[in-house]
Structure 1
Amino acid sequence: MLRAFLLLSFGALAHAACQGEADVLLILDSSGSIGKANYDLLAKFSADLTSNFTVAPDAIQFGTIIFSDSVQNIFNFNQFTNNSQVAQALLKIPYLSQSTHTAQALDYARTNSFTAAQGARPNAGKIAVVITDGNSQNAAETAAAAARLKQSGVTVIAVGVGSSISQTELKAIASGDSNVFNVNNYSVLDAIRAGLVTQACEAATTQAPTPTVLKECDRDADILLILDSSTSIGRPNYASLANFAADLTSNFKVGPSQIQFSALLFSNTVHNLFDFNRYHTNAEIQQALIHMPYLSGFTHTAAALDYARTNSFTAAHGSRTNVAKIAIVITDGNSQNHFETAQAAERLKNSGVKVIAVGVGGSISNNELLAIASTPADIFNVNDYSVLDDIKGELLVSACNDAVTLAATIPVETDEGTAHCEGEADILLILDSSTSIGRSNYATLANFAAGLTRNFHIGPDAIQFGAVLFSDNIRNLFDLNHFHTNDEISQALIHMPYLTGSTHTSLALDYAHNTAFTAQHGSRNNVGKIAIVITDGNSQNHAQTAQAAERLKNSGVKVIAVGVGNSISRAELLAIASDEKDIFNVNDYSVLNEIKNALVTSACEVATTTPAPTTTTTTTTTTTTTTRPTTTTSQIVVCESAADVLLILDSSGSIGKDNYALQANFSAELAKNFKIGPNNIQFSAIIFSTTVQELFDFQKYHTNNEIAQALLNMNYMSASTHTAEALNYARTHSFTPAAGSRPNVGKIAVVVTDGNSQDAAATATAATQLKQSGVKVIAIGVGSSISQAELQAIASTPADIFNVNDYKVLDDIRANLVNTACHSIPVTQAPAA
């Protein structure tokens, strides 16, 4: 196999040529944020880049698309056969301007560019190079589209230009962190050309991962088809759906000891078509599907998802206990209630069911599909029912792989004769679900975790277990108060989904601190708190992981760290664990059971003793002393640092007067946890709806009582949620000397809101500008109407996001919120004399 050894010096770069065999697609941002002058630089860079590859029908082929509000195909892979032709076409690319719809471009690449019709070759490597300078219009849709593209066998390289695009988005687009490149502006793009060519050439000269093609799946699983039968489909399309469903089942080996199928239809009501144990041959299943009745009516997706959990996946309907459980939802419209659908989907997934979502047509939002599916990679889209067959191969592979993934064929071992714990504690399992583990090892991990919990006496007055998974994102498997028996916990762990992705350990530790160990998620006040982290690889950011672990430990949680294999460093385990004796190591997942007794003993030490409060930590420098908050598991913290804290409070119509009063009371109580004064904390507050109103600036009040009274008396504006205007006001007015802000102290903004802003893109831009000005932004989302993507765009880091179900329980997060705010204040800063 050919491999180019590239010369990395700039002088020799023009002569280095990649001679592999690959189809390379350039996906170029053509939005308004770039500007015509920079766009010309992008065109020239692209043309120069292609000169480093040998272009020919049996070597490298280039294709190019550009995107803004829409996607435009510039040329197909087989259109040009030499470097000169490709370069000339790139130098002439048109400028579209408008917005940054990255998701559309990634989906176009998968469904159009990388097809035989546009010159893509079946046995050549497939590479996409995305170059963009701004965040996409919808980060969630972009991540989902990128996951689909990568899953289809394409290596994606992401190039971010300037500081406006988030690293999170680039990482979501790219095939691994090594495929992310950054430059400050378009004029210096050439500085990364050598590295970019090297990465692309490695992919081109390495055998491309060919998407698996299965003729038949002979695994062991219960698969439920959840089929939309609403009026929006129409009878001709419904017939196509029936034929597709019948045809899909023919690719599975059906039987009581292999694949079992069940099916239900939904519209206004849910209609159970047949149970898992009803049919034992493909022919019987196909006949039942082909003749399924058409219900018509509205799209009550939530009812179908709840029925699946409470009826279909039960023994009474033929579902088996020790096999993988998979639901395939096919729908063409948004549900009647997105919130209810998202909650029903979460309940179904938390019960151990892998959910695959198929969206047909353009009427259903990608956000709803994301809420339904287990991961972005479990989402499939087609333009209409007539082309459902185009995704059959991918859908078959996905479902069959899931049947292997879910460790369901491994029985949970009993633990008679081993250590047993009778204490009282909240124990959170924090389990690595990243790609480095592998499906087989993940099954072993699931079985070990299930077996481990059987060594504890479970109950509301004894041990409670919670579990979270982590990779690129966090998945809450179940809350501390969700299950009350060993069997329930074991089953949930055995069927836990495999996320894949990178190892973002810090996100999991911050989630434990901010969310899992709160009353809202079942944590109790006066019991020991233990987190058991099991991981096999170093985190993406060691410093962030160490800081997140410190926050968690400072909140009164004992952290036990289990390292599997030799890829994770001892230093990282030491940073995570509460003490060196709380570190456990095993060579691989197959021998995890060797440490089970010791692990139970270590955890039980906390369960049988009263949790001790942590002590105040004082950090001293030559310029100032910053007192960090004192915390216990039952006390509210007090912060005595020096900072300017701005409350940015939603005053829109969606809140309502009663909830607004609760928000006012929470804000007043929050301010009491800070030592107020010209040399300590200063508060300011603004409220926003259609406009922004300043309640008081930083220099107006000097006592807690004055601030509390002003907040309790704040007026209610009602109207729309213009979050961007509030963030811009904070930067241009509040955090200025004229409004009393001090130059040499920490600056923190706390945003409390219950709804999505009127303009997500403008909000993200305003938040970025505020953060770049040196302000730490903490975001609090109330209820389920606000998207997590918007909160992530607003907040400085994922650890700075807090969520509550409604305004009544805001006080549940107060201690963690004060702790987060106080710990974010730089210890070397003091107010100017």
Structure 2
Amino acid sequence: MFLFGQVWSISSVQEMQTDLETIMKINAAGEMMQCSTAMDILFVMDSSYSVGKGGFERSLHYVLKLCEALDVSTVRVGVILFGSTPKLEISLDSYKSKEELKKKMKKIHYRGGSTQTGLALKFVLRKGFSGGRNSTVPRVVILLSDGKSQGAVQLAASELKLSGVTLFGVGVRYPRWEELRKLASSPSDSYVFFAEHFSDAVNGLFTTLTTSSVCTAVPSGCKVESYPCVQKTLETPCQNGGTCISEGLEKYRCECPAGYGSDPNCAPILSFDCSVDVLFLLEGSSKLTLEGFLHFKSFLKRFMQAVLSSDTPVKMGLSQYGNDVKIEAKIGDHRDPVKLIQAVEGLEYRGGQAKAGNALHYVTRHGFQSTPVFADIQDDLPRVVVLLTGTPSVDPVIEPAKYARDREIFIIGVAPEEMRAEINNITGNPQRTIKYQSPDRLSAKIPELRAKICSVDNQGCLGQALDLVFVLDASSGVGKDNFVHLQDFVRSTSVQFDINRDVAQMGLVVYGRRPVTVFDLDKYDSGSAVLKAVGDAAFLGGKASTGSALLHVLSQSLTVGKGARPGVNKAVVVLTDGTGVEDAAVPAQKIRDSGVSVFVIGIGDIHQEVLFRIVGSEDHMISVPSYDALKYSEDVLVQMVCSDVKKPVNLCSPNPCMNDGICVLLKGSYRCECHGRKGPHCETRSREKPSRGDLPKPAGLRRRQQKSEKELLQRYREHRGRHVSPTQHR
């Protein structure tokens, strides 16, 4: 038995286990598929250069997550990898448990090479479903590829389907639709999916596959049933030994053991439901005193006792600073909560001066070292430093803190009330600051610290596909010094997004009288590259024209040719002081009409109605009193943007077809109808000659033909004049 939920919008399977509201949403979104029939599934994965390592790694992680929804006692899974040549990585009978299957999958590596899809399908034909069962067991092939095969594929696909295999085609990155439709089972609209709106592997890369389609492809043994308690995708929703009791098709309740009855799902109240790497940085200076240090240790022990369990997804480390810094326990060294708490108990007071700046710089470079999920892939979890301090730093902290934040490290500061200004400068955001009146009352801050750590995991659209364009006012009205504040804002905000080819892309446009593209959406594939490029943006000066900048964004930045991805949510963020926005309303409306969200941040004394005309909604506008206060709006903007990227996407809006091509929506995909052009997006000029001679000719050719005809007529008259007799003239 296995189950597929039609809609997965949760950041992890663990979250789905603990959230009653989530389960009800899933049930409301669509009925769960329950398939009791045995099944053999082969994932045929494209590992070629055209897909790329990033796309491949996320595909692999998706397959891994999908397999978690399978009952491997009845459903067998195999994996074939192909580039230039195919290779059987996992046969259908090579494992005995789900854990063993997952271990084997984690050992699969990207190979590169050309895209020989035909050879891969012939390999399946020749080798069959290695380790599979007899022909009475339904067989399914799920091909994950960009469809850009460099060899013949249709014959092999036809033979495979004739043999009784159900074949799905999943388009990766910028797929070649016609090839995928020819490969897949019929009708192709039901067996070909568009997978370009990548979310991260936790959410499920190819969300279109987590529907009932795989199940309904099997000819027998499937039925639709809502089944809220025993769900293979969700496990039991009741935690800590609680018993799940069904109450109708869509309701249930949990009978909880002693100590857990206050939560509907028997969850401990303060348990972590987020995945982050946390490094605690404790002050141990002489000025703090031994008593203050012991208060910090006591607070940290109580915090860990309240929030940690054996299956907590958070990895923690310990460090202490005075004159220098010491990593007391590396991130992930102690996965057992008891041992981690023992490490806290073993911390020894060091004394010395409170050099927080030096400590922040050190832990940024050396504090986050942990074992990745895959052997060749680094963990991509949010990194958090929790700074526990009681006295002002004796060395500068602003630059070291900025150094950390620029490297995608979130800082949460726990400090006394009188250190408010310093700790705000360190965290870069008052929302990441926890203030206390006295050290002996720190334990009351445990719920707040837990919430702030997990809010970091929710910051940004980590795993959410997004094309984001920032538009910065670089006119004389802003000035060079204030333009630096705008750059810093974009840099700090960008670290809250997962920047790469498959998830979040970022572009930047600056404008004075005329707009200038600093970099297009597809220019950079890493957060560090974006940080540098934003810092290199030039100040323009001149009079501002926000309308011209928005028209430039619509006609240039948001096009497929400049890196915009069809089927991916798009957002434009304008930062302005309000001068030169008189011409912005109509261009902004055009952008919104094309399905792109527009946000505006107004700085200084700017009327709300001016901002409203640009964005059309109060939920998309932010006002800040000064450029210095701009940094406090980072999280507000990110939350606004991230709530929008979850909305449904129209694949034809904005139009992905270039050169006046017409976008035609299909089931789960689209195609471009081109006129005088060719290519998936009408990007190249067609060289085919017209089949009829009476078709309109280019204007230049018509002029040359008319000139040639006049010259011939003149020559004929001259020739006739020389050979006609005088009597004929008379």
With structure 2 as the length reference, what TM-score do the two structures score? 0.34
Structure whose CA Rg is larger: 2
With structure 1 as the length reference, what TM-score do the two structures score? 0.30
Structure number with the bigger relative contact order (C-alpha 8 A, sep ≥ 6) is 2
